[in-house]
Structure 1
Amino acid sequence: MLDDPRTVRITGDETAAVYRRIDDADADAHPAGHQAQPVREAYVWCNLTSGNSARALWLLLLPFMVVNLAHWMRPMARGRKRTVRLYGLLVRLTGLTLTVLLVAAACEVALDLTAWQCAGTRGCAEDHSWLGFLSPAVSDDGWWSLPGRRLALAGLVPAAVTGLLWYLSHRTWSAYESQQPMSRRAEPDEETGRTGLGRPGFWYGRRLVARLRAAHTAAGFLTVAAAVGTSAARYDRRPGGSDLLDLLGRLLEVTLVAGALVVVWVVCRRGRSEHRLDRQLDEHLIRRLPVGSILLLVLTMVYAGWSRAGWQSTGRLPGDTTFGALALVQGLLVIALTVVAHALYRTHPDTRTAMRGLAGPAVAMLACALGGVMSGGVAQRVADWLDGTRDALVSPPVLLTWQASVIPPVLLVVLVLVGRLAWRTRRLRRAEMESVEFDYRGEPKDTARSRRIAGTRARASLTDRAPRIVGITSAATLFLGAMALVGAATTDKAPGEAAEGSYAFVEGAAQTAQALGSWLIGLGFILFVTWGRRAYKDAAARRTIGILWDVGTFWPRAAHPFAPPCYAERAVPDLTWRMATWTRATGGRLVISGHSQGSVLAAAAAWQLKPSVRKRVALLTYGSPLERLYGRWFPAHFGPAALTSLHREVACWRNLYRRTDPIGGPMRLPGDCGPQVDRAPLKDPLAYGRTEQHPLPAPILGHSDYQADPAFAQEREWLLARLRPEVPAPRGREAAAPPHAGQADDPQDGSGRSSG
């Protein structure tokens, strides 16, 4: 970006920093020697998303990241504050169910499959010698062979998982999101295009993250306590049991219910506070809630480990009830979220909004599906490993088998959608052939070359059809998941067993779906682990995952505290501080050049500036997803009103895009808010055949190397000319118009240098 291999870091650290060419390193100390040319700087933030190998492990937190995205996908709404708060509340509750689901899956593996079923069966315990001290069939007089003590010991595994999630959330907050934005006075939403990105506290959500972290941590420990203690309490309620233990069990259950209600109250009580920089913390809450849940877990383990005559581990723990209740609650939350999102969309409908405002519920449904696949996958793989070649000595809950059986139908729906997209792409490529020949008219016709260009354009347009795929897939997942829940609730058998005795076709389809689904859900979990392991060791694979984090972790953790950290809470304050301090110290002006996700960061940082500073900033965006992706999927923050307001408030703005780019696109802003933002689509490739300027075949660049196009230098020089105070610009509207664009406003007055 700096067009010079000799660069030096002028501010920042190893995680994110600003770099200059060595020749410009002393520009601040000797401004007289740098008046002729602009001083170039580059802000590098890649280490926030893909620098450390440990970030590969964030793949296991993917469901949490996806549900956090659903929070920011709400439609644009005006005058519906209570409905907006209800939308955020429903997403936070959905995130809470995902935490409980993950911990419940760990309890299923450690408590039910390992300590209860395998250790309680002679054949399984003999095959796994490390379980011998837990098995009453192998070690008759072993202290740990009692069922309650086995459960208490195994409960340390999901408790450790919960503690690890708490530690990672706390550590990543300190490492990435603890940077405080600049303190400034809040502007009315009307002046910032009704987007929260311009509010002082938007990029500092410490208080909410701390509250949610305490609540989710407590929910995890309470889930472990329920898994350990409810089996013992159920045994103590049998006729002839100990009255004292029965009383303790009932008190324990009441305390668990009370703790769960407190956790739900904490999650519901407070949302984000963005209108001011909130530095306060609920110290008593964030300390007492996790500590109280840990104490309750310890007491539960002591209660479960008490000696009980005649208690043996038979069958399965009541996992079907737990997973069934979670699936039901998640389905109801998604349906309620759909109703609320539709009500918000009706207040301010926009045809460009993805899925007519239902993107948030659809993505929340996919997050729940991802959580189900991960929990079912690990349970199925561990059950197969423990069971070996035997016939279901160890088996997971029936509901997980039913949920695995609906994966093949969902994949079939996805394959149909992909096939339809492929057919449509083929048709679009044929239609684009004429457009390519028109764009490169006068060139010798080359059918293969034209087909490659037309195919690239057709494939790039598939991005605009992603909402339909997401919507149909989410609807199919919700419907088939509901059918799986009904099937598991009406019978205690797997789909293949439940279909026995019916029509041969139905029985064969059920058995095939069960076998294929079980294999697929296990394969999915293995792929997750393999991909994470590869990314841990391979920097190139880690950069590929970093592309996913670019979008997924751009947003603050507003719905789930265990999601991967938000890098923008470090990057946006970095850019804001740099722009504000530089303009204040030098009186200069800035051209912010942003490619792809960099253009999103540039826009977010510009919204955080004071209006007086914002007027001294020009934007040059290229390959930008601001409108094409963010504007459609996050309309409340990047919708037409927000982008129009940004256009009016900055000094000037130009945007470059190509028809071969699957990510970047035009801004589609109306012409009545100032000079036109979008330049006509750039040619890609630059030359159709061999020319004097391009003696070798020019590549199809797509989303990369926008600087290689001469239009980039033209637009950059035009923006610099508008900002340079030492070169008076003509006041005629036609003379000030950008190349291949509309007309420009009068030049800005002032003094100072330009910086890119």
Structure 2
Amino acid sequence: MLGDPRTVRVTGDATAALYRRTEDAHAEEHPGKHRDEPIAEAYCWSGLTSGNGSRALWLLLLPFMVVNLAHWMRPTAAGRTRAVRLYGVLVRLVALSLTVLLTAAACEVALDLVAWQCAGTPACSERRSWLGFLSSEQGGWWSQPGRRLALAASVPAALVTLLWYLSNRTWSAYESQRPLDDTDVAIGEDDPGADHSAPGPNAPRGPGAVRPALGRPGFWYGRRLVARLRAAHTAAGFLTVAACVNAAAARHDRTAGGPVPEVLGAAITAGIVLGALVAVRVVCRRGRSERIRDTRLDGALITYLPGSAVVLLALAVVHAAWSRPGWESSGSLPGDTAFRLLALGQAVLVVALASVAAGLYRRNPEPRTTLYGLGGPAVATLACGLGGVMSGGVAQRVADWLDGPGTPGMGRGAVIEGPPVLLSWQASVIPVLLLLLIVPVLHLVVRTARTARRLGPAVEAEYAPEPPDPARTRRIARTRATAELTDSAPGIVAVVSAATLLLGAAAVVGAWACGEVPGLAADGAGPLVESAAEAAQSTGSWLIGFGFILFVAGGRRAYRDPSARRTIGILWDVGTFWPRAAHPFAPPCYAERAVPDLASRMSAWTATTRGRLVISGHSQGSVLAASAVWQLPAATRRQVALLTYGSPIERLYGRWFPAYFGPVPLLGLHRSVHCWRNLWRATDPIGGPVRIATDQDPGVDRGPLKDPLAYGRTTRLPLPEPILGHSDYQADPAFAEERAALLAELGPLVPRQAEPDAQTRSGRSSG
């Protein structure tokens, strides 16, 4: 970024820091040497996204990250406070259901498949020597079903503990930086769900009167909400484990009798239900408060709610471990109904969320908003689908591994019942989903080829009068056509989410109606139907297991390979930009560290030197730069120029997150800073124009820039120039021109001796 191998860290730590060239390290102390050109600083935050190998493990948190994105995708909703609150509540409930789903999947594997089915079946336990001490044939202390369940409960309980630990640790490491203190307090309600992306009809006008949401003092400091959600989700996880352990023991006491009083199981069940209701109320009760920086903590809540759940889990374990000599395990645990109800509840929540989002969009329609305001519900559906694939993949693979040559649940050499029937039905619809995707994918391929052919004459005209080169023209036109595929992502998301919702509902209905896996359910329906059902089930089971193996293998490779880890870091750049407002176990928000870093540096530097400052950002750095400028006091914003290039700030963020990066917030940002320029290329699949030009204002965009810079060989560029696409904007002469123009537009230095020019550049480090 600095164009010099000799760099020095100016401020910051090993996680994120500002750097300068070594010769510029103390430029403020020698103003005479640095008055002819700006002093460049580079901000590197790669340690927050692709740092050490543990980042690869964050892939397992992908469903949590996706549902957290759905919270921020709501449409603009000025004046619709209740609807915004309801939208936030529904997303948080979907997020809570994902925690319960993944914990239930861990219980299915550890309690049902291993401890109940395999350890209780001699033909299965004999193949697994490590299960010998649990085998019912051994007759040892652990051979009773309740004690096997009590021991196996340690696995999902450890998973919940690990999620709690990671959430707490990552908050302390990455998100605990307090934002810049200033007195420019935003005007508006202190409402946990209020939309402040656009001023209301009675709001004061003028620069700095009303800040958009990203400029509010508490936006980048969500400690209280994250702590509350972490307590509720941790409690929900432990209560799920307690319910799985207690249900089997309580059912045996009710049906077969025994030495344990029935009232004990009923009391524990009542406590679990009460704890679940409290956790749901905590999730629904309070959202984000952004008008002020809320440094308070609900100490009693975050201590006693998870603590009570742990106590109930301990009581359930003791209750299950009570001696019941005549108890034998057979079949499978009654988890099928729980998975069906969970899937049905997620579908109801997603449909309700879509209804609220559609109502918000109708109130304030913005043409470029993704899926007419339904982007959030669509992404929430994908999060549920990812959670189902991960939970079903683990259960299916573990069941196949335990059963050896048999097929669990199919009666063909199978020795165990296998996972719940719903998981087999969900696996069966995966091939159907992939077949449905073939149509839009083929459409995009054909459309891209046609677009490339159509762009050929325009490319040659742009570089005229150079002689045409058909091969060169095809490459440039193909690159431009491929870059336009980014704008087709909403259509693919719509198809996948709609198909996931409908096929998931069909799977629930099929599992509930027949209670058998698809292959057995189709017996007697004709050889063709039976073969198709068996093929769909086996193919889906193979795909879901293979996909999960690839998922784990990718994480393992990223753990060992820094280059692969940087690739995953690009995913985190987008997915973890937003604070954890819906799911506390999502990967940490790096912007809660990076935005205060940049805002503090700009504010302190301008206050100390009174010099000119241009903050420039490439790609995700442009989003950070804009967010940091929003956090500055109004007077400081007027001293700052903004230069963005390859920026997704409107093309991606403005369309998917309209309440925060829509036309009104971006126009307000343009008017609040001294000046702003945005560079973009037609070959860039990520960056694009900002699109805020008006009749009175020409806007901030300059582009599309030529890419490549030369069509053929020239005297100045005798070798073929590469097609740069999203990279190397600084190599384009337009970058230096616009940076110089911004510095000139900022005006001369404030009359004060010993004050240098400065430039702060935000972006990802290449190292």
TM-score by length of 1: 0.95
1:258 matched residue in structure 2: 274
Q: Aligned partners of 1:240 and 1:597: how far apart in 2?
A: 63
Q: Aligned partners of 1:148 and 1:553: how far apart in 2?
A: 42
Cα-to-partner distance string for 1:80-108 (whole Å, 9 max, x where unaligned): 01100100000000000000011101000
Residue 193 of structure 1: CA displacement? 7.1
The structure 1 residue matched to 2:319, chosen from 271, 294, 303, is: 303
Q: After alignment, is 150-159 or 248-257 more displaced?
A: 248-257
1:229 matched to 2:246: yes
2:111 matched residue in structure 1: 111
Q: Aligned partners of 2:93 and 2:181: how far apart in 1?
A: 32
- CA 1:675–1:616: 2 relative to 1, 3 Å: farther
Q: Aligned partners of 1:101 and 1:456: how far apart in 2?
A: 42
Cα-to-partner distance string for 1:649-699 (whole Å, 9 max, x where unaligned): 000000100000000000111234645301131011111110011101010
1:218 matched residue in structure 2: 235
Q: Aligned partners of 1:30 and 1:175: how far apart in 2?
A: 36
1:186/1:200 contact within 8 Å kept = yes
Residue 523 of structure 1: CA displacement? 0.5
Residue 472 of structure 1: CA displacement? 1.1
2:489 matched residue in structure 1: 466
The alignment partner of 1:263 has SS state of helix
1:648/1:673 contact within 8 Å kept = no
TM-score by length of 2: 0.94
Cα-to-partner distance string for 1:13-41 (whole Å, 9 max, x where unaligned): 01100001111111122334322221110
Q: Aligned partners of 2:392 and 2:295: how far apart in 1?
A: 40
AA in 2 matched with 1:283: G
1:342 matched residue in structure 2: 358
Q: Aligned partners of 2:452 and 2:612: how far apart in 1?
A: 44
Q: After alignment, is 391-400 or 145-154 more displaced?
A: 391-400
1:236/1:245 contact within 8 Å kept = yes
1:404/1:518 contact within 8 Å kept = yes
2:603/2:632 contact within 8 Å kept = yes
1:176/1:569 contact within 8 Å kept = yes
1:209 matched to 2:208: no
The alignment partner of 2:94 has SS state of helix
The structure 2 residue matched to 1:526, chosen from 538, 542, 549, is: 549
2:175 matched residue in structure 1: 177
Residue 240 of structure 1: CA displacement? 4.6
Residue 228 of structure 1: CA displacement? 0.4
2:612/2:743 contact within 8 Å kept = no
Matches for 1:316-715 after TM superposition, within 5 Å: 316-390=332-406, 391-394=413-416, 395-672=418-695, 674-715=697-738
1:164 matched residue in structure 2: 162
Q: Aligned partners of 2:170 and 2:750: how far apart in 1?
A: 48
Q: Aligned partners of 1:453 and 1:32: how far apart in 2?
A: 46
- CA 1:513–1:193: 2 relative to 1, 3 Å: farther
Cα-to-partner distance string for 1:405-449 (whole Å, 9 max, x where unaligned): 011111112222111110110111111111111111211111111
Q: Aligned partners of 2:382 and 2:637: how far apart in 1?
A: 38
Matches for 1:98-137 after TM superposition, within 5 Å: 98-137=98-137
The structure 2 residue matched to 1:152, chosen from 146, 150, 154, is: 150
In the alignment, structure 1 segments of 5+ residues that lack a partner are: 729-749
Q: After alignment, is 386-395 or 313-322 more displaced?
A: 386-395
Q: Aligned partners of 1:288 and 1:171: how far apart in 2?
A: 20
Q: Aligned partners of 1:653 and 1:181: how far apart in 2?
A: 24
Q: Aligned partners of 1:32 and 1:751: how far apart in 2?
A: 9
Q: Aligned partners of 1:240 and 1:58: how far apart in 2?
A: 46
The alignment partner of 2:594 has SS state of helix
1:192/1:607 contact within 8 Å kept = no
1:594/1:621 contact within 8 Å kept = yes
Residue 503 of structure 1: CA displacement? 3.2
1:741 matched residue in structure 2: none
1:80 matched residue in structure 2: 80
2:47 matched residue in structure 1: 47
Residue 753 of structure 1: CA displacement? 2.9
AA in 1 matched with 2:757: R
1:192/1:198 contact within 8 Å kept = no
Q: Aligned partners of 2:429 and 2:387: how far apart in 1?
A: 15
Residue 566 of structure 1: CA displacement? 0.2
The structure 1 residue matched to 2:308, chosen from 267, 284, 292, is: 292
Q: Aligned partners of 1:609 and 1:618: how far apart in 2?
A: 12
Matches for 1:731-742 after TM superposition, within 5 Å: none
- CA 1:194–1:582: 2 relative to 1, 3 Å: closer
| Dislocated runs of 4+, deviation >6 Å | none
Q: CA RMSD in A?
A: 1.5
Q: After alignment, is 190-199 or 663-672 more displaced?
A: 190-199
2:29 matched residue in structure 1: 29
What percentage of residue pairs aligned between the two structures are identical? Answer: 67
1:753 matched residue in structure 2: 757
1:740 matched residue in structure 2: none
Q: Aligned partners of 1:465 and 1:716: how far apart in 2?
A: 33
Q: Aligned partners of 1:366 and 1:699: how far apart in 2?
A: 37
1:723/1:754 contact within 8 Å kept = no
AA in 1 matched with 2:230: R
- CA 1:702–1:147: 2 relative to 1, 3 Å: same
Q: Aligned partners of 1:202 and 1:45: how far apart in 2?
A: 19
Q: Aligned partners of 1:579 and 1:592: how far apart in 2?
A: 9
AA in 2 matched with 1:35: R
1:429/1:458 contact within 8 Å kept = yes
2:648/2:687 contact within 8 Å kept = yes
- CA 1:278–1:215: 2 relative to 1, 3 Å: same
1:143 matched residue in structure 2: 141
1:617/1:650 contact within 8 Å kept = yes
1:595/1:621 contact within 8 Å kept = yes
The alignment partner of 2:676 has SS state of strand
2:71 matched residue in structure 1: 71
1:718 matched to 2:717: no
How many residue pairs end up in the alignment?
732
AA in 2 matched with 1:218: A
Residue 211 of structure 1: CA displacement? 0.4
2:612/2:640 contact within 8 Å kept = yes
1:652/1:719 contact within 8 Å kept = yes
1:211/1:266 contact within 8 Å kept = yes
2:611/2:749 contact within 8 Å kept = no
- CA 1:443–1:262: 2 relative to 1, 3 Å: same
The alignment partner of 1:515 has SS state of helix
Residue 194 of structure 1: CA displacement? 6.5
2:357/2:374 contact within 8 Å kept = yes
Q: Aligned partners of 1:112 and 1:570: how far apart in 2?
A: 42
In the alignment, structure 2 segments of 5+ residues that lack a partner are: 188-195, 200-207, 407-412, 761-767
2:211/2:630 contact within 8 Å kept = no
2:459/2:477 contact within 8 Å kept = yes
1:739 matched residue in structure 2: none
Q: Aligned partners of 1:136 and 1:503: how far apart in 2?
A: 41
The alignment partner of 2:702 has SS state of coil
Q: Aligned partners of 2:464 and 2:210: how far apart in 1?
A: 43
